[in-house]
Amino acid sequence: MNVSVGLVTARPAVEVELIGAYTDSSGRRYAPGRYRFDSEATLTPADPASCAFALDDVTIGIGFHWQREERQVFRGVLRLIKREGGLTAINDVALEEYVTSVISSEMSASCPMELLKAHAVISRSWLWFPKVNPPRAGRAPAERRDSHEIVRWYGREMHRDFDVCADDHCQRYHGITKAFSPAAAEAVRVTAGEFLRYGGAVCDARFSKSCGGMTENYATAWEDEDVPYLRSVYDGATQPSPCSPEMWIRSSPPAYCNTNDSQLLARVLPSFDQETRDFYRWHAAYTPEELAGLVESRLGVSLGPIRGLQALARGPSGRIYRLKITGERDYIIIGKELEIRRALSRTHLYSSAFVIEKEPGRFILRGAGWGHGVGLCQIGAAAMAEQGKDYVEILRHYYRGTTIGVHLAP
């Protein structure tokens, strides 16, 4: 099975370096070198094992605090299609090679083996889920809005011309740019054909960087639906005493993802992720005027200097999914978690799990975790693997009631 991955869209042309010989659909042969394409084309490698193509200035982490451009190298077929936005480069690549790249791009190829295996299973499952679960008729829209409330979430059924994109909106796919380790290739080989299942069906296996000690319910981030295997679980071996979300966020409870093991984090996180510090517990500070400017630029709403932030609804991990923002002139209620993270930052807050402190002249947000927190916690899973847990134990911890099914027929 092949996967089609959208890489970049450029106007008016796409520049490509061919590393090895390629042939287009008319039979024209392209020798190794640099080429500029301003029309549609399909380029097939002469030798799939040794040929590759490179694209310069590929943007990764779009909209997030680690956004940057880098040169990336890919194997497989290159397709260029023309749309209103320009020329889109699409990579058609074998499923298992795609998964190998994902687990070496989402995390580092030097991760513990059992984490690589767990990630191979969930990345394969996440990709396959929409193929066997097409969008249901009448499914709730991705936005609800009135004069004082905006509720948005960002789904995955948004790509018309390819299966998935290459960035964090879907799964990170950096081709063969990040060095594949023998462990990454072995993790994909030994889990080949394995999918996470619930009740026999393939799972929509979501994951995030750090849950902050407690994973989150699906509905906090997306549709108002109960997904039984995407329910909140404590990220540790022994459940702590119950407390309010605010007390939870203000404390630093023990959890798998609460690790100060710098050597483990260096093995687990890609180089650009290692620039993000103190994500288990973090803080951000803004003046009322700064918040007003963010809200106006991100939401197009002019409230005046902000007087108050109030969490109206939280998930079990403390992540806010309805937030009231009151200014001198008006107020707005926003959700869900990603919209809140976007509205209160020039890029994105690490998460929407935060408590609000108001001091003279500024608001302080004290937060927990990095990402939406639903499903597998990548840092927590790495710590579990380091402690000797195998990939089946890791998956059962984060996705309760699931099994691993082998050799799903296409």
Q: Residue ranges of the domains in the chain?
A: 281-368
Long-range contacts of 83-87 (CB under 8 A, 24+ apart): 83/9, 83/161, 85/9, 85/11, 86/9, 86/10, 86/11, 86/12, 87/9, 87/10, 87/11, 87/12, 87/13, 87/14, 87/37, 87/38, 87/39, 87/40
* pLDDT value of position 77: 96
* pLDDT value of position 179: 54
Q: Give dist(CA 79, CA 89) in Å, integer.
A: 6
Q: Please report, in tens digits, the pLDDT of each residue of the chain (410 residues total).
A: 888 888 888 878 899 999 999 999 999 999 999 999 999 999 999 999 899 999 987 766 555 555 667 788 999 999 999 988 788 999 999 999 889 888 877 666 678 899 999 999 999 999 899 888 766 544 556 777 788 999 999 876 567 888 887 776 677 787 776 656 788 889 999 999 999 999 999 999 999 999 999 999 999 999 999 999 999 999 998 888 888 888 999 999 999 999 887 777 777 765 555 555 678 999 999 999 999 999 999 999 999 999 999 999 999 999 999 999 999 999 999 999 999 999 999 888 999 999 999 999 999 999 999 999 999 999 999 999 999 999 999 999 999 999 999 855 54
Is the previous residue joined to 12 through a cis bond, with omega within 30 degrees of 0? Answer: yes
251-285 in b/e form (b: 16+ CB < 10 A) is eebebbbbbeeeebbebbbbeebeebeebbbbeee
* pLDDT value of position 352: 98
Please tell me the chain's helix, strand, coil percentages from 3-state DSSP, rounded to the nearest 5: 25, 35, 45
Which has the closest alpha carbon to 316: 226, 199, 395, 379?
Answer: 226
* pLDDT value of position 41: 96
pTM: 0.87
What are the residues whose beta carbons fall under 8 Å from the beta carbon of 157, sequence distance 6 or more? 130, 135
Neighbours of 46 (CB within 10 A): 12
* pLDDT value of position 111: 82
What are the residues whose beta carbons fall under 8 Å from the beta carbon of 85, sequence distance 6 or more? 9, 11
Which has the closest alpha carbon to 323: 107, 73, 94, 148?
Answer: 148
* pLDDT value of position 85: 78
What are the residues whose beta carbons fall under 8 Å from the beta carbon of 339, sequence distance 6 or more? 150, 151, 152, 153
* pLDDT value of position 61: 55
Strands, E, within 95-186: which ranges? Answer: 143-146, 149-152, 164-165
Helix (H, G, I), strand (E, B) or coil at 267: helix
- Radius of gyration (Cα) for the chain, nearest Å? 22
Strand order across the beta sheet in which 281-286 lies: 281-286, 362-368, 354-359
Tokens for 151? Answer: 């509720």
Single-letter residue type at 80:
L
Strands, E, within 20-85: which ranges? Answer: 22-24, 29-30, 33-37, 41-45, 52-60, 68-74, 77-83
